[in-house]
Amino acid sequence: VAVSALAIDAIRAAWAGVSGRLGAYGLLLPGSASFVCQAELCQAHCCRSFSVSLGDGEVARMAATGRQPITFLETEKGEPISLPLAQPYLLARRHGQCALLGRDLRCTAYEGRPDACRRYPHEVVFAGEGGLVRLEPAEQRAALEATVAGRAGSPLALLLGHRECPGFTGPALTLDGWAARLRETLELQLAGH
């Protein structure tokens, strides 16, 4: 991976054009602190703040770790609630937090955890000269590879980190680490859609 200084400048410029609309996030570049979950610092903030929706594949993955879906999904009259959405199910919540959050602030279903939990606190957005752009999955992958390769032209893939998460304390992201995180985050975003 070789992202030129020019490409980094282009990413910064694209972010400057859209950051006002994405105030909950910061831009992550090669050299930014990487993410290492620090659940004890925030009392597992993310597991308390967010309702998590799941698709069929994610439910099957969690069920494969030996749990019955009615034990980890929100239910109504003993049946999982199913909404008319791409990700129809809701991860169960109890007492204002994820029902699977352990007393030790660790996830009790870590192996099978939903895609949203795997992705957090990262997000990928695409920005062109006119601001944020909506792209088809194949176009998103192509734009990401063009960004990583430092090829000119818009739109660019921007790797973002959620500001409320105190976990951005790890070693500086290398070029390869940044590119890998971009790809992994995008694939988790595209899964189930």
Report the interface residues with ligand SF4, using CB under 6 A: 37-39, 42, 44-46, 120-121, 165-167
Q: How far is the CB of 101 from ligand SF4 (least distance, A)?
A: 9
CA distance 65 to 107: 13
Nearer to ligand SF4, 124 or 165 (CB): 165
Nearer to ligand SF4, 168 or 178 (CB): 168
> φ, ψ for residue 7 (rounded to 5)?
-65, -40
What is the residue type of 29? L
Nearer to ligand SF4, 4 or 43 (CB): 43
Residue the block writes with tokens 């659940």 = 39
CA distance 19 to 144: 19
Cβ neighbours for 68, distance < 8 A, ≥ 6 positions apart: none
Q: How far is the CB of 170 from ligand SF4 (least distance, A)?
A: 11
Q: How far is the CB of 118 from ligand SF4 (least distance, A)?
A: 11
